[in-house]
Every structure is written in C-alpha cells, then in structure tokens.
Amino acid sequence: MSVIEVRDVQTVFGTKVIHDGLNLSINEGEIYGLLGPSGCGKTTLLREMVMLQDFSHGSIDILGHNVSNIKERDAQKLRREWGVLFQFGALFSSLSIRDNIALPLVEYTDLNASMIEEIVQFKINLVGLKSSDADLFPSQISGGMKKKAGLARALCMDPKLLFLDEPTSGLDPISAREFDELILKLRSLLGLTIVMVSHDLQSIYDTLDRVAIIDEKKIAYEGTIVDVKSSKSQFVQTFFK
Amino acid sequence: MQTPLHFTQSDSLLSIELSGELTLYSITPLEKQMRQRDVVGITRIEINLMSVTFIDTATAIFLVKMEEMFSKRGVECSLICENKTLLSTLELVKMQRIITNLETQSQQKKSSFLEKKLKDIYAYFYSFIPFITFLGKLFVAKMSYLKSFKNIRFKEIAYEINESAVKALGIVALTSFLIGLVVAYQSAFQLKTYGANIFIVDMLGISILRELAPLITAIVIAGRSGSAFTAQIGAMKITQELDAMKTMGFDPFAFLVLPRIIALMIAMPILIFVADIMGMLGGIIVANADLGISSNLFLDRFREVIAAKHFFIGIIKGPFFAFLIASIGIYRGLSVQNDTQSIGFNTTKSVVESIFVVIVCDALFSIALTNLGI
Ligand SMILES: Nc1ncnc2c1ncn2[C@@H]1O[C@H](COP(=O)(O)OP(=O)(O)O)[C@@H](O)[C@H]1O
Ligand SMILES: [Mg+2]
C-alpha cells in the first residue's frame, strides 16, 4: 500500500523550473531515498510533502490526504503523524534540548511531567546522545549533536512517517553508521515509513529499500538499489559510479 | 617587473615572443607593452610561446582573449606552442569560454535605467500586498485563537510583556523625562518675555499628555522592541525553526505572532502612563527652577486646567500604536529571506516603517478628534 503518492508535480521559482512532471510512490514500511545532484530539488520535494511549500501543478497524497486541498483540521492531524528532521536540525534556539524534545508532548498530550521526562530521556538515549546533554541549549552543541537532537524531537510522538533531510551529512563515520542502524531498528520496531534525502553512499546501500533519482527535473530512476546496476540511463550509471 | 617580451616585425607579420613563467602578475605589464606597440598595417600576429615554461589559467584567459580580440579586428592571430601542459591549459580555458558565452547569450539583454527604476517602484508598492495578506492571516488566527479561553498562551504573553515592555521602562522614562525638561525649558524662555509664566502648565499638560508621551513611547518601542521582533523572528526563519514549528503543527501565529502583539498592546498604555508622569516631572522641575512656580502651584493649576480627556486620548493611542509597531516588526521578520543580510535590511525597514506609520496614525487621530470636537 502506498503512503505517499506524488503525481505530475511541477515546481517553479520565479522563472526557474525545478520539477516538471515528477512522479513517485512510496510504500508503507519502506525506507525510501531521494537522490540526485545538489540543487536538483530534493529538499524542495520534501518540503512540498510536508506542506511547507506550494507547487504549481500536480498532486501529492500523504496517508490518503491530498495536501494541496486539505482541511486545516486534517492537516493538523496529519502533522502529528509525521516527524521531520531538517538538514541543520532546526532546533528551537530558546529552548534546551530537553524542552525541544518535550514540546510536542507538552502541547499535544496531557501526560504528567515525570512521564514526559521519562520519554525524553528514552529518546535522547535512543538517538545516541547522553542524558547530561539534555540541559544544553542548541547553541552549545555541535552540528552532529543537533541532528541527533532533531531526530529525537522528530521521533518524540512516535510518528508513522519520518522525513529526513541529509541525516548523516556532518556526522562522523561512526555516528553515521550508528544512525543507519538506528533507522533500520526503528523501522523494524515501529514499522515506520522513512523518506530520506542522502548523499552518503554507505548509508544508501545499507539502509534504503528503494530510491528515486532526480535528474533533469524528473525521476530518472525509481526502484531498488539492486536493480540500479541494470538501469540503462547514463546519468544513473555515473551517479553510482 | 618587466616581463620578457620580444617583438619582431617583418612586413605585415608581427611575432611576439614570450618567455619564462607567466602568472597573474605578468598580465598587466604584458598588456601595457602590447598596447604601446603600434599595430597599423599588420595583418598577421604570431604569439610564440615556445620558450614559456608555465602559464596559469589567468594568463591563459588573457592570451585567448587577445587572440579573439585580434581576430575580431580582422588580424589573423595564432598561438605557437608545443608544450602539452600549456596547450591543455589553453584548451580548458577555451572550452569554458564557449560554455559561458552560450549561457550569457541565452540570457536576456540588460534592462535600461528607467526600466529598472520603474520595476523597483512597482516591486516596492507590490510589497504592500503581502502585508495585507499578513493582516488577513492575523485576523483569522486571532478569531480562532480567541474562540476558546484555554488557547490563549498566557505564559508567552507574560514573557513578552516582560521582554518588550518592562525592560523598556527605564529608557522610556528617561527619554520622556528629558523631553519634558527640554520642552519646558524652551517654552519657559518664551513665556517669560510675555510674563505668562503660569501658562506653562497648560502648555505642557496638553502637549505631553496628548501628543508627546504617546509618540515618544511609540518611537522608543519601535526602535527597541519592534526591531527585536524582526530580528528574533528573522533569525528563527533562517534556522528553519519556523518550518519545524509548522511541520509539528504549531501555528507560528499562535505561538509567536499573537503573543507579541497582545503583549505590546497591553503594555503600551502603561508605558505611556509612565512617560506622562516622567514628562510632567521634567516640566515641574524646570517650572520650579526657571519660572519660580512651586510644585504645589503647578499641580493645583494642572488639576484646574487640564481636562482628563487629554490624558485618556494619549492612553487610547497606545494599543493602536502597539498594534502597528508589533505587526510591522513581525511582518518584516517573516519576510526575511534565507540569508543573514536580509535580517539587517528588514530590521532597518521595520523601524523606519513603524515610526512612519505611527506618525501617520497620530495625525489621523489629531484630525479625527479635532473634527469630533474632543
Ligand atoms: N525559496 C526559493 N526561491 C528560489 N529558488 C529556490 C528556493 N528554494 C530552492 N530554490 C532553488 O531550487 C533548487 C533546488 O533546491 P533544493 O531543493 O534545496 O536542492 P537540493 O536537491 O540540493 O536539496 C535550487 O536550484 C535552488 O536554487
Ligand atoms: Mg538539500
């Protein structure tokens, strides 16, 4: 069953066309990669999926909702069913790591403080941060730690869908591999569907079930990593060397 | 530094022999020497690079450009070179130039000065439309926000009142005290010559309570808190915090925008009240020192001649000014683009625009109230 359907999407910034007739579909429970050269519009596509960016033509369905004409109430419900990790974490700078992660729980649930603290500690450890990091502010931690904290925040409500923008870029190799393991573990534990943008070949081979490669404003290849080798497209071949 | 350059001319053929290492620094001297050379009657030029040991890409570009320039003038020009490295550098440069030429050709021609200016003006006035959109969103947000009492984010509002008003108390008090002092001092000098000393009370009472205190407060707050709103929200936009909020289903209008606007609308009348007191205090001191009017006499006269309406008019302006300052500050913050330059630009805009709008609003108040006979 497909959780995300992108059909015929066209995106235009001013006079610049970024996507033109882009189609893809993402199935439940899979780890799906958006690949392509820098500036080809991967982040933009991700932003369109999470309703941060309008597109001029086509449609995107997420969990059965068409995002371009969704009611505010449904949109709000949808937003609680996904987690988003931004390329640079996008932690709230006025809140500590703990409060960043706890925020959705505080706002959306009526859990008591000690329960929230438990959940926060669990998520902090899950993503590989130390408990003592909880009291630090975003300005006091490194880029890699920001990403981990951002992931912890994205996971905080146990979402069904996870969007990750370059999750392993800026991480040291050990953390990056741990990250891959975590992603795989989460998928098998929670049955998550994960959509991620990545440039990290190791991570691409280790984690992704299927990939879409964007080139020339369209999808140049969609399918499994194994089949990528047999793709006829010159571009796809050079992309995987 | 003189770059080794050798000219030999036979009839219509000019040979230019270069030697040694050619780098960035040799371009200007080369160009100078070439220009000094008179090329009248020459139809062929040979640039001999046989004894050149090294060229960098800059010189390569220079040589290729020169070749092109001469060809354009109808002079046959050729580079003589056998060194493989040099040739491949030249080849690389030529390839790149072809690509860039193609790209620039496909771009449109430059627009004229008038066209540019008119476009700027159009863009400037067009930028008013997003502001209207912002006000519309604000209205919708306010409606759904005030629908239920528990939606109101008292904690954020209290925090913002502290940040943008309580902490501004000192500077507002000081500024209005000084303004009271100065206005009183200047008018005392004039009033003394007519012997109309006691009228300083009427003058100060009306001008400070009705006009000066609200305006001064608004200007100080626009410079202090309005700009802070722009910078804070702009920075949050750059770090994608606003995007993160949206994807988590937190409406930035409920979390960031309305608390700031409401906080400022609550705090502004209080600040104006403080400014009233401090401005009058400055007046009393000058009246006492300069005109010999004791503070008791001043206050008695004040009670007698200054109607309460002047005070209330001044206070009533507060929420209006606050709304304008806060909404412009926040709107500017939200229009920050993804670069740091844009924070500075929008902060400046936010202060200038909000002070301007406050003064326009004050003028409207004046006209309306005068026509109503208040
Ligand atoms: N807000 C914007 N305004 C104009 N152009 C944009 C904007 N956002 C992205 N772009 C352009 O869209 C293209 C795709 O960007 P992006 O999706 O960030 O690429 P990437 O695939 O590297 O993540 C880029 O060429 C970029 O210049
Ligand atoms: Mg990107």
Going by CA atoms, what residue is nearest to atom 4 of ligand 1?
A13
- Encoded tokens for A50: 């999470």
- Cα–Cα separations (whole angstroms), residue A238 to A219, A231, A234: 15, 11, 6
Is residue A176 included in any domain, yes or no? Answer: no
Across the range B35-63, mean pLDDT stands at 82
Q: Rounded distance, CA B181 to CA B166, Å? A: 23
> Which band of pLDDT confidence, cut at 50, 70 and 90, is reported for residue B83?
confident
**H/E element holding A9?**
strand A2-13
Question: Which of the residue ranges A214-228, B3-17, B351-365 would you say has the lowest mean pLDDT?
Answer: B3-17
Chain A, chain B: beta-carbon pairs less than 8 Å apart: 45
Residue B1's pLDDT is what? 47
At residue A137, φ and ψ (nearest 5 deg) are -100, 160
Residue at A239 is within a domain? yes
User: What is the C-alpha separation between A225 and A123, in angstroms, rounded?
Assistant: 30
State what percent of residues in chain A have pLDDT above 70. Answer: 100
Element containing residue A162 per DSSP (H, E): strand A161-165
pLDDT digits (tens, 9 = 90+) for B308-359: 999 999 999 999 999 999 999 999 999 998 787 889 999 999 999 999 999 9
Q: Are A221 and A233 in contact (CB under 8 A)?
A: yes
B264-to-A78, B173, B349 alpha-carbon distances in Å = 34, 17, 19
- The pLDDT of residue B138 is 85
Does residue A94 form part of some domain?
A: no
Asked if residue A27 belongs to a domain, the reply is yes
> What total of structural domains would you count in chain A?
1
Give residue A241's pLDDT band: very low, low, confident or very high (50, 70, 90): low
Q: Which of A81-85, B147-151, B243-247 has the weakest average pLDDT?
A: B147-151
Mean per-residue pLDDT, A88-111: 89
Terminal Cα-to-Cα distance of chain A (whole angstroms): 32
| Separation between Cα atoms, residue A27 and residue A38, nearest integer Å | 25
Q: Over the stretch B92-115, which tens digit does the pLDDT of each residue have?
A: 888 877 777 776 666 556 678 888
Q: What is the CATH number of the domain that holds A33?
A: 3.40.50.300
Average pLDDT, whole number, for chain B? 87
Q: How confident is the model at residue B42 (pLDDT cuts 50, 70, 90)?
A: confident
C-beta separation of B157 from B218 below 8 A: no
Banded pLDDT at A129 (limits 50, 70, 90): confident
DSSP B111: P
Within a domain: residue A76?
Answer: yes
All structural domains of chain B: 5-93 (3.30.750.24), 152-371 (no CATH)
Region A85-89: mean pLDDT is 89
Which of A51, A93, A108 is facing B241, going by the closest CB pair? A93
pLDDT above 60 for B2: no
Helix (H, G, I), strand (E, B) or coil at A222: strand
Query: Quick check: B249 and A47 CB within 8 A?
Result: no
Q: What one-character DSSP code corresponds to residue A151?
A: H
In sequence order, what E strands does chain B have?
Answer: 5-10, 13-22, 44-55, 76-80
What is the pLDDT at residue A216? Answer: 86
Share of chain B above pLDDT 70, in %: 97
State the Cα–Cα distance between residues B37 and B75, nearest whole angstrom: 15
Which helix (H) or strand (E) segment is A66 a member of? strand A65-66
Take atom 1 of ligand 1 and give the residue whose Cα is closest: A13
Decide if A93 and B249 are in contact by the 8 Å CB cutoff.
no
> SS3 of B168, please?
helix
Q: What tokens were used for B20?
A: 């040694």
Q: What is the mean pLDDT of residues B21-30?
A: 81
Q: Quote the pLDDT of residue A136.
A: 92
Q: What is the mean pLDDT of residues A19-37?
A: 91
* A63 against B59, higher pLDDT: A63
Residue B216's pLDDT is 95
Domain hosting A199: range is: 1-81+191-241
A107 falls within a domain: no
Is A228 a residue whose pLDDT tops 70?
yes
Say whether residue A32 is in contact with chain B using an 8 A CB cutoff.
Answer: no
CA gap B132, B299 in Å, rounded: 46
Report pLDDT digits (tens) over A190-223: 888 999 998 888 888 889 999 999 988 888 888 8
What pLDDT is attached to residue B124? 80
Q: Which pLDDT score is estimated for B196? A: 84
Give pTM, 2 decimals.
0.74
Adjacent-strand bridge partners of A26: A4
With a cut of 50, say whether residue A234 has pLDDT above it: yes
A87, A166 Cβ separation under 8 angstroms: yes
The highest-confidence range among A129-133, B213-217, B366-370, by mean pLDDT, is: B213-217
Residue A199 buriedness (CB in 10 A; 0-12 / 13-18 / 19+): middle
Q: Identify whether the C-beta of residue B51 lies closer than 8 Å to the C-beta of residue B81.
A: no
On whether any CB of chain A is under 8 Å from the CB of B235, the answer is yes
Residue B175 has pLDDT above 80, yes or no: yes
3-class DSSP string for A11-55: EEECCEEEEEEEEEEEECCCEEEEECCCCCCHHHHHHHHCCCCCC
Instruction: Please indicate whether residue A40, judged by its CB atom, sits closer than 6 Å to ligand 1.
Output: yes
Q: From residue B44, give the alpha-carbon distance in Å to each of A207, B14, B78, B187, B363.
A: 65, 6, 8, 86, 76
Bridge partners of residue A22, in order along the sequence:
A9
Whether the per-residue pLDDT at A171 is higher than 60: the answer is yes
Q: Residue A225 domain-assigned?
A: yes
Residue A82 near chain B (CB below 8 Å): yes
CA–CA distance, B15 with B8 (Å, rounded to integer): 5
Query: Which atom of ligand 1 approaches the CA of A165 most closely?
Result: 23
B361 touches B321 (CB < 8 A): yes
In a domain, A138, yes or no: no
Alpha carbons within 13 angstroms on the beta-carbon side of residue A100 total: 31
Give the number of the atom of ligand 1 that is nearest the alpha carbon of residue A197: 23
Q: Strands across the sheet with B44-55, in order?
A: B5-10, B13-22, B44-55, B76-80
User: Residues A160, A129: contact at Cβ < 8 Å?
Assistant: no
Place of tokens 């800026």: A170
Q: Is the pLDDT of residue A91 over 50?
A: yes
Q: Which of A44, A88, A165, A196 to mutate for ligand 1's pocket (most ligand atoms within 8 Å of CB)? A: A44
Tell me, yes or no, if B334 comes closer than 8 A to chain A by beta carbon: no
Under the banding of pLDDT at 50, 70 and 90, the label for residue B53 is confident
Please tell me the total number of residues recorded for chain B in this structure. 374
